Structure 1
């Protein structure tokens, strides 16, 4: 067994730190690659919005036009149509309330406080969105400090916001390409992370080394952010399909498979974290762990990776489903096993059910694929690991 903690000395610590740094850099480069198209869209559409508002409509300072593009196309992606509506409504409320009050009460410190409070209150009353409230407040500040009461710049800025928002939506609809490219890398990464977690558990069982399980658990704990990014990418991709009329039906079908897999994949990763914790506990306690468990976990890892490849390549999940059903036949428990080992076997069953659901089976059919366990039927897995 390898030495625990920091007994391997400074060289080992440096090697692990270097690996973590390279992994972090690689993830940032991949993220930049995914965000490249929205950044280009944002830059070009912002420039076009400025040209239209300034040169075609003759607005002297049309800064709301490119701002609307940035908020619409946005690096965050998702809910773009709502952002356009909130932006235009927020600008309209802020300028309308501000212009009306400033023309009566004038400008000054207490006037700014009153104008901002009333504009944001009206915005909250109309909608609970954060953008509409903040935009109403900032627009009211502009009216109270920069824009002359009753001037033409208020309506011009409303029009600028609308122009920028519409151009942002047009850029998304016309130049987004294949929306499945937004979700494919995240999906493949999550299935690979699940496979690594299960392989780590199998190696720990095979070598009777709890530290291997703890290292795999530490890595698996970092997957929740990836799950959140996966769901955000799904939202963005679905919105692109809704906005773009080109090949909408085919793209919708491809996204539906990723949507179907989202919740079961989240559950599988949570169950894998519980599985790893209990694997480490079983090995620390020197429980007798059946040999079939390592084999089952290896096969389960292979099936997870295969399902990720099938989704990425838009193939039917037949191979992964067949592998999962074969693995399910091995997942039985023995009365002589300790408590933690029983939990590991139960969690492996739960991961199998989760992955079968990710292939498109409903819960009942996925549960039916598992062999019965002596005694009471197995209960659903614990979807709350950390």
Structure 2
């Protein structure tokens, strides 16, 4: 009974901490939405002169909510999709009235209009949903007016302004949060692999491989975050100073993805090595361990916006240890692991900011300290 109560308390505490963390990570988004909604209503009411401009704050909030992590074009599509839907709905419902077939016609024409102006999926979806809103909840009764059309434009543009100018997200925070999970999984996976190889525990390799495979979805998240962060850094004057540090993430992302995939091959071959009972030199374990350390340092140095020198040094040490292992003698699977260590080391040196030619030269030299030229 006591154990069950302790486990429940532990899980509840973990869930509470996770929810608090999620709130903290997204609190700026909430502030953005609140500020945009208030400004949109004030501008539409006080400047434009609309009596009840409820579409303005709605458009502002929707713009911010949907465009988080999306391209700027998606945000503009959202704004104009809402405006097109409202305009088509206002005109047609005033002319033909309300009812089932009228709603169907309004939605059809709103979608056709959105497609005609060259909109993507966001514009088409918002045009259709806005037309439904007009046709069902607020049909025009006193003649055709474009107040709601203007409200949608005001709200959407205010949302974009808040997102890009008044309270832009910190690009480094956005991309750092997206990069951290994949770098943690990669570092932990390589470290776990090294320890499992040393202990000859194949079941631990199975678990490490499963985690590395699951991290593939984190790659997509990272690329989306880099895209969104790059746009913010380009558009928001207060974030221009982050562009140099952000470029480090941009340059590193492709090589992090390659390191992840090469590491999965490395783990699968380690499984075969243990299953076949091949020779396992201690230097080969050290090489994989050094790769894990290189990834850990890469995360720290990217987050600190400094050149990843420590990460580069550990990646080269991994290549050097792989050369030692090769000279000490390895079987077929061991030689494949040596090759994968070398490939992953190149990936991590590239992620540290060096060009392909220099990265390959440094890794080749690190391996070559222990391997004769005719065997490299």
Shorter-chain TM range is 0.7 to 0.9
Partner of residue 317, structure 1? 308
SS in 1 for 2:279: coil
Question: Is 1:161 aligned with 2:152?
Answer: yes
Partner of residue 345, structure 1? 338
Matches within 5 A, 1:243-262: 243-246=235-238, 248=240, 250-262=241-253
Question: Is 1:202 aligned with 2:198?
Answer: no
Question: Is 1:241 aligned with 2:241?
Answer: no
2:219 corresponds to which of 217, 221, 227: 227
State the alpha-carbon separation in 1 of the partners of residues 12 and 333 from structure 2: 34
SS in 1 for 2:80: helix
CA deviation after TM superposition for structure 1 residue 149, in Å: 6.6
Whether contact under 8 Å (2:91, 2:144) holds in the other structure is no
State the alpha-carbon separation in 1 of the partners of residues 361 and 204 from structure 2: 32
State the alpha-carbon separation in 2 of the partners of residues 208 and 148 from structure 1: 75
Question: Is 1:124 aligned with 2:89?
Answer: no
Whether contact under 8 Å (1:188, 1:309) holds in the other structure is no
Partner of residue 69, structure 1? 60
Cα shift readout 1:277-300 (whole Å, capped 9, x = no counterpart)? 222232123222222110111111
CA deviation after TM superposition for structure 1 residue 76, in Å: 5.9
Partner of residue 3, structure 1? none
Question: Is 1:276 aligned with 2:260?
Answer: no
State the alpha-carbon separation in 2 of the partners of residues 102 and 35 from structure 1: 39
Higher fraction of helix: 2
SS in 2 for 1:62: coil
State the alpha-carbon separation in 2 of the partners of residues 21 and 297 from structure 1: 37
Partner of residue 177, structure 2? 185
Unaligned runs of 5+ in 2: none
SS in 2 for 1:315: coil
Whether contact under 8 Å (1:123, 1:133) holds in the other structure is yes
Deviates more, 1:364-373 or 1:215-224: 364-373
Unaligned runs of 5+ in 1: 1-10, 379-386
Whether contact under 8 Å (1:300, 1:352) holds in the other structure is yes
CA deviation after TM superposition for structure 1 residue 27, in Å: 5.7
State the alpha-carbon separation in 1 of the partners of residues 169 and 212 from structure 2: 32
CA deviation after TM superposition for structure 1 residue 60, in Å: 4.4
Question: Is 1:368 aligned with 2:361?
Answer: yes
- Residues 22, 272 of structure 1: alpha-carbon distance in 2 compared, 3 angstrom cutoff: farther
Whether contact under 8 Å (1:42, 1:73) holds in the other structure is yes
